[in-house]
Chains A and B, each alone.
Chain A
Amino acid sequence: MRILRFVGRRLLQLIPVLLGVVVLTFLLVRVLPGDPIRSILGPNATEADADAARARFGLDQPIWKQFLDYLGGLVTGDFGTSIQSGASVTGEMALRLGPTLELVFIAVSIAIVLAIWLGIWSARRADTVGDHSVRIFALFGNSIPEFWLGLVLILVGYAALGWFPAPSGRVDPDTNLTPLTGADLIDALITGNGPAISSSAAHLVLPVLTLVIGVLAPLLRSVRASALEVLRSEAYAAAAAHGLPERTLLRGYLRRATLVRLPSLAALVFGTALGSTVLVEYVYSWQGFGQWALRGLLYRDYPVVQASVLIIAFAYVLVFLIADVVHAWLDPRVKI
């Protein structure tokens, strides 16, 4: 009950935050140098052509009028029309969001589970060979750039070993997958398309692995550090001094106390992962949200940039809200 009230209050706070984001991005994209109309018309277009195009996209209106139109559209769920493609931004985004969310969710979930498991394992064997190898791995993951890691994984997994499909998309087109959500694995599961399930899963392995290695490192280090702190705490020493068996100590006295601080970091890492996808998607030709937003920004496609910033802000706020709720659930001392 209390948690529901908290969630409700935080969702209400979302309104002013998103409003601020809308205003800021709307102004910022217009301050940036570059003209979207020139970039679609090419160098040979006349001034008249440009004016006509401007009028078509409503860019000839005074700026406050443009803003009010944009805001009115947002209320009805209309993000405007892409200047570059002429298609509806809402429709384009729906197509692009699914694949990226699929990638990020799977990667972050795997990274969190691995980090908890490896971090606690490593802390309990502090300063042994196992612990040192885990820490070296974390350092390695932290310092390797994703695009390079992606290329190496393609070289090894596709070119040398041939275990995984070429980095040329998200699913084999021959499987005739009907797109529903845009997340291919989920679509395949919903439609019960057997070949599509295996094809999309195989396509996911390398990009997910790339993201996991990059994202795992900070989580792993944090889990290890806080597990060490718990292991050295008086409370843990007291439980150990009372002769409780290892299993009880691990499950009841170490794990939950260690995880208390993880949610807020995991939320931050989720944000980083969302950013990393731009490069990972590029390397694996993954037609996703990151690539779309990047192209929008490069061509000064105002509606696309505004929509993508808004969605990213929304995702951040939502993920932090989830993190706070999980934190409160893990730590009885936190009052929400």
Chain B
Amino acid sequence: MLQIEDLSVVIHRPGRQVAALSNVSFSVAPGEVVGLVGESGGGKSMVARAIVGMLPSGSHATGRVGFDGDDVLRMDAAALAHHRGRGAAMCFQNPRGALSPTRTVGRQLIDRLVTHQDMDGKRAAESAKELFAAVGIRNPSRRLEAYPHELSGGMAQRVMISLATGCAPGLLIADEPTTGLDVTLTREILRQFRHAADTDGRGVLLISHDLASIAEVCDRVVVLYAGTVVETGPAAQVLRHPAHPYTRALLRSVPDVSGGRAVATAGGMPLMTAAPHNCPFAPRCAHATDVCRETRPETKALSSGWSLACFHPQEEPLFADTVPSNHAESSGHAEPGRSAEAGRVVLRVQDAHVVYRSRFGSGGHHALRGVSLEIKAGETLGVVGESGCGKSTLAKLIMGLVEPSEGSVEVAGKSVRKQSRVERTRAQMVFQDPIGSLSPRRTVADSIAEPLRAAKVSTAERTKKTEAALQRMELDSSILTRMPHELSGGQAQRIGIARALVGQPDLIVFDEPTSALDVTVQAQILDVIADVAADAGHGSVFISHDLATVRGFADRVVVLYLGRVVEEGPVDEVFDNPQHPYTRALLGSAPRLGETRTADVELVKDLDEADAATGCALAARCPFVTDTCRSQEQTLQPYGESRAACWRIPELPALIGKSSS
């Protein structure tokens, strides 16, 4: 149905020129799900724009975008109008921004139905309700009246999918449909696309930077690098036995929940000004030879449907040297028990509650409900949970940025509330947005030295320590005089870590430090963090919604759900032998390489529909809920090496066996 042949797009801007795509060819057949994978800047979105005929101004496209026999690049306005929606419909990356804010979502869906399926108003309203129900929106008739700002992220993404399918397109394009969504929701959304291909016979083009998470629903995968297709093949083939070094780098950059560690590839993607004359990946490739640097590899077919553009296809297994057992040694805490016992307690949180009061009088949002933690020097605690579970509030609480309404927080034996300015520098934080967390008008040197200045360290001492921290981050000292906007994301995050490290604090809090970075850069930063977290001098808190990154280097894990700790224990114990139904569901939904493991616990509703007034927080979403759960508050009970807040844990294996059979 979709047949892209030799598509090249060059964008001319005053003063520069960017070769966004160079000789891209691939196809999508009806009923097929094709994944388009690569890092940002690789040209994925440009492909999507070319398919719907919406290339940015100043771009010049050559080649052919064949769609049902016609060439989209050569369509006139009338043909394009027919092609958009009816031929190819796109789900946009940021669904909340892509929904018109001043029109109810129901009206927006009805507009599409009336336009593309020739329905009259009443029938359109009926089928709008059905479409909403089909994408898993509860209470569809009420949701039809909602405005986009009233929807949660997951709900908005479902609406976006219903809008695209409402056009009854031959080809459904989804641009990063799951970015920013939680693991449990990601699975559900991806399943919607598989469903569209299987039941309606649509072609689906899934665009993503995360190969592992989309591979499960894809039939075939196309890997883009710097605007060129480097590898194409059946999903299982590309995922398990990739042959192109870039695909391998991409896969190895993602840590795995089952214990595989990320392997970093140095460097970043180049910005092409013209179609490459050599292999664009050569500068970063370990297998590159002179041939790669001088001539561009042709795309060759390896077997049916599997082709790649490389002179040196790789064959050995992907993870040759990483076996879960020796990763513990390599990350530097082979004897976590001993080093943890030897260390002093650097953080103690006791039964902390945080309530964000609403602006006037009564009510408010209970962000944390009785969290207790303890971290010793040299120890790393992972904090995981879906968005809205209170992870960031916990970080703010530890840093003293919010006051606990009940309970206490002590850093290095002193209550955060009573700390002086100098004592406050004992806890440092690494932020999610690397560039945004650096002051735009200060040089890198100033930014790194900030905590030292707060701690009243002399100028000479500051310079010395700043340079030491910089060296540890493997950065050149020429970077010191630069401004944040001149840095890449990876560099900026290294600066952020250097800033946290420079004053030799007792505690470092990492708040989602890699989620804003590209996959291969993410792996580089995770390496750095693993090294820093292994220091014996301080404790670390690593907050992430991505379970796999936590597993890489945490000693203990805390699973948060709606402001409560539902499970806590040593990292391998929690990940390999989860107790609480919520932990089981989280782990079951996490993407894994190589194996497709189905979750043994499926949560029944979206997070935003769960109300946690009394009883167990999970009661509204748990498949094993009983009346006892709804009425009784659950507290952490020891089960084996970990502790979990659920009274039915002894019965769970039997219950899970029953529901799956």
A242 within 8 A of B: yes
Q: Are B102 and A256 in contact (CB under 8 A)?
A: yes
Contact present for A248 and B111 (CB under 8 Å) = yes
Alpha-carbon gap, A234 to B97, bound state (A): 6
B residues 94-118 touching A (CB-CB < 8 Å): 94, 97-103, 107-108, 111-112, 114-116
- Which residues of chain B are within 8 angstroms of A253 by Cβ–Cβ distance? 100, 103
CA distance A260 to B147 in the complex (A): 15
Taken together as a complex, chains A and B put the C-alpha atoms of A256 and B90 apart, in Å, by 24
Q: Is the CB of A238 within 8 A of B103?
A: no
Q: Are A243 and B102 touching (Cβ within 8 A)?
A: no
Of the listed residues A237, A243, A248, A331, the one surrounded by the most CB atoms of chain B closer than 10 A to its CB is: A243
Residues 280 to 312 of chain A near chain B (Cβ within 8 Å) = none
**Which residues on A sit within 8 Å (CB–CB) of B147?**
332-333
The answer, among B82, B92, B94, B99, for a CB contact under 8 Å with A243, is: B82
The CA of A266 and the CA of B205, in the complex, are separated in Å by 46
Query: Which of these, B82, B85, B86, B100, contacts A236 with CB under 8 Å?
Result: B100
Closest B-chain residue to A238, C-beta based? B98
Residues from chain B with Cβ under 8 Å of A233 in the complex: 97
Residue B550, interface by CB 8 Å:
no
Q: Using a CB-CB cutoff of 8 Å, which residues 150-164 of chain B contact chain A?
A: 163-164
A243 and B90 within 8 A (CB): no
A257: nearest chain-B partner, CB-CB: B102
B92 contact set on A, CB distance < 8 A: 234, 238, 241
Taking CB atoms, residues of chain B closer than 8 Å to A238 are 90, 92, 98-100, 163
Query: Are A256 and B112 within 8 A (Cβ)?
Result: no
A239 sits at the interface (CB 8 A)? yes
- Is B346 engaged at the interface, CB distance under 8 Å to the other chain? no
Complex Cα–Cα for A158 and B105 (A): 54
Q: Is the CB of A241 within 8 A of B102?
A: no
The answer to whether B102 and A331 have CB atoms under 8 Å apart is yes
| A235 is an interface residue with CB less than 8 A from chain B | yes
A214-237 vs B, CB cutoff 8 Å, 1 = contact: the mask equals 000000000000000000011111
**B519 on the A face (CB < 8 A):** no
Collect the chain A residues with CB atoms within 8 Å of residue B204's CB: none
Whether the pair A257, B163 counts as a contact (CB closer than 8 A) is: no
Instruction: Report if B185 contacts A (CB, 8 A).
Output: no
The smallest beta-carbon distance between A250 and chain B, in angstroms, is: 12
A contact residues around B167 at 8 Å (CB): 242-243
Question: Residue B149 at the A interface, CB < 8 A?
Answer: yes
Cβ 8 A contact of B102, one of A240, A248, A260? A260
**Least CB distance, B48 to chain A, in whole angstroms:** 9
**B102-A330 in contact (CB<8A):** yes
Chain A residues within an 8 Å CB radius of B86: 243
B90 and A245 within 8 A (CB): no
Known contacts: A236-B100, A257-B100. The answer to whether A333 contacts B84 by CB under 8 A is: no
* In the bound complex, CA of A260 to CA of B83 (Å): 32
In the complex, whether B54 has a CB less than 8 A from a CB of chain A is yes
Given contacts A257-B102, A332-B101, contact A242 B112 (CB under 8 A): yes
| B101–chain A nearest beta-carbon distance, Å | 6
A241 to B98, CA, bound (A): 11
| Those of A227-279 within 8 Å (CB) of chain B | 233-245, 248, 252-253, 256-257, 260
Contact with A along B297-311 (1 / 0, CB 8 A): 000000000000000
User: How long is the Cα–Cα vector from A257 to B98 in the complex, in angstroms?
Assistant: 13
- CB-based contact B101/A257 at 8 Å: yes
**Chain A interface residue count, Cβ-Cβ cutoff 8 angstroms:** 23
Is the CB of B81 closer than 8 A to any CB of chain A?
yes
Say yes or no: is B144 at the interface (Cβ < 8 Å to chain A): no
A242 vs B160: C-alpha distance when bound (angstroms): 11
Residues of A within 8 A of B54 (CB): 237, 240-241
A237, A240, A256: the one contacting B103 at CB < 8 Å is A256
- B324: min CB distance to chain A, Å: 43
Chain A nearest CB from B367 CB (Å) reads 22
Q: List chain B residues, Cβ under 8 A from A257.
A: 100-102
Judge whether B212 is part of the interface by a CB distance below 8 angstroms.
no
Contact (Cβ within 8 A) B100 A242: no
B558 at interface, CB cutoff 8 A: no
B81 — which chain A residues lie within 8 A by C-beta?
A: 243, 245
Task: Render A173-198 as a binary contact track against B, CB cut-off 8 A, 1 for contact.
Answer: 00000000000000000000000000
Interface assignment of B89: CB less than 8 Å from any CB of chain A: yes
Does residue B52 face the partner (Cβ distance < 8 Å to A)?
A: yes
Q: What CA separation (Å) do A32 and B164 show in the bound complex? A: 68
Q: How far is the CA of A169 from the CA of B578 in the complex (A)?
A: 89
Q: Which residues of A contact B85 (CB under 8 A)?
A: 241-244
A257–B148 Cα distance when bound, in Å, is 13
Cβ contact of B111, chosen from A234, A237, A252, A256, cutoff 8 A: A252
Residues of B within 8 Å of A248, CB to CB, are: 111, 114-115
Query: Are B98 and A235 in contact, with the CB atoms below 8 A?
Result: yes
CA distance A170 to B115 in the complex (A): 52
* Most chain B beta-carbon contacts within 10 A, residue among A234, A235, A240, A253: A235
A243 close to B83 (CB less than 8 A): yes
Chain A residues near B82: list those with CB within 8 A.
243
Using CB atoms, name the residue of chain A closest to B173.
A241
Query: Are A241 and B97 in contact, CB atoms less than 8 angstroms apart?
Result: no
CA of A189 to CA of B185, assembled, Å? 64
Would you give the shortest CB distance from B393 to chain A, in whole angstroms?
A: 24
Instruction: Report the minimum CB–CB distance from A168 to chain B (whole Å).
Output: 48
Residue in chain B with minimal CB distance to A242: B85
Of B81, B82, B111, most buried by chain A (CB within 10 Å of CB) is B111
CB neighbors of A among B246-286 (8 A): none
CA distance in complex: A245, B149 (Å): 25
Q: Find residues 5-30 in chain A having any chain B CB closer than 8 Å to their own CB.
A: none
Q: Inside 8 A of B83's CB, which chain A residues have their CB?
A: 243
B residues in contact with A244, CB < 8 Å: 85, 111-112, 115
Cβ distance B168 to chain A, nearest Cβ, rounded Å = 11
Q: B52-85 toward A: CB 8 Å interface, digit per residue (1/0)? A: 1010000000000000000000000000011111
Instruction: Give chain B residues whose Cβ lies under 8 Å from the Cβ of A242.
Output: 84-85, 89-90, 112, 115, 163-164, 167
Question: Do B107 and A252 touch across chains, with their CB atoms under 8 A apart?
Answer: yes
Residue of B nearest to A333 (CB): B149
B512 to chain A, nearest CB (A): 24
**B102 contacts A239, C-beta separation under 8 Å:** no
List, in ascending order, chain B residues with CB within 8 A of A236's CB. Answer: 100
Q: How far is the CB of B159 from chain A (nearest CB, A)?
A: 11
B31 to A: closest C-beta gap in Å: 22
How far apart sit A235 and B163, CA to CA, in the bound complex (Å)? 12
Q: Which residues of A contact B102 (CB under 8 A)?
A: 256-257, 260, 330-332
Name the A residues within 8 Å of B108 (CB-CB). 239, 252
**Contact partners of A240 in chain B: CB under 8 A:** 54, 84
Q: Which 8 A-B pairs have the closest CB atoms?
A: A243-B85, A243-B84, A238-B98, A332-B147, A242-B85, A256-B102, A235-B100, A234-B97
Which B residues form the contact surface with A (CB < 8 A)? 52, 54, 81-86, 89-90, 92, 94, 97-103, 107-108, 111-112, 114-116, 147, 149, 163-164, 167
Residue contacts A-B, CB under 8 angstroms, 26 given: A234-B97, A237-B54, A239-B100, A239-B111, A240-B54, A241-B85, A242-B90, A242-B115, A242-B163, A242-B167, A243-B82, A243-B84, A243-B86, A243-B89, A243-B115, A243-B116, A252-B100, A252-B107, A252-B108, A257-B101, A260-B102, A331-B101, A331-B102, A332-B147, A333-B147, A333-B149
Q: Contacts A235-B98, A241-B92, A243-B81 known; list 10 others, CB within 8 Å.
A: A235-B99, A239-B100, A241-B84, A241-B90, A252-B108, A253-B100, A256-B103, A332-B102, A332-B147, A332-B149
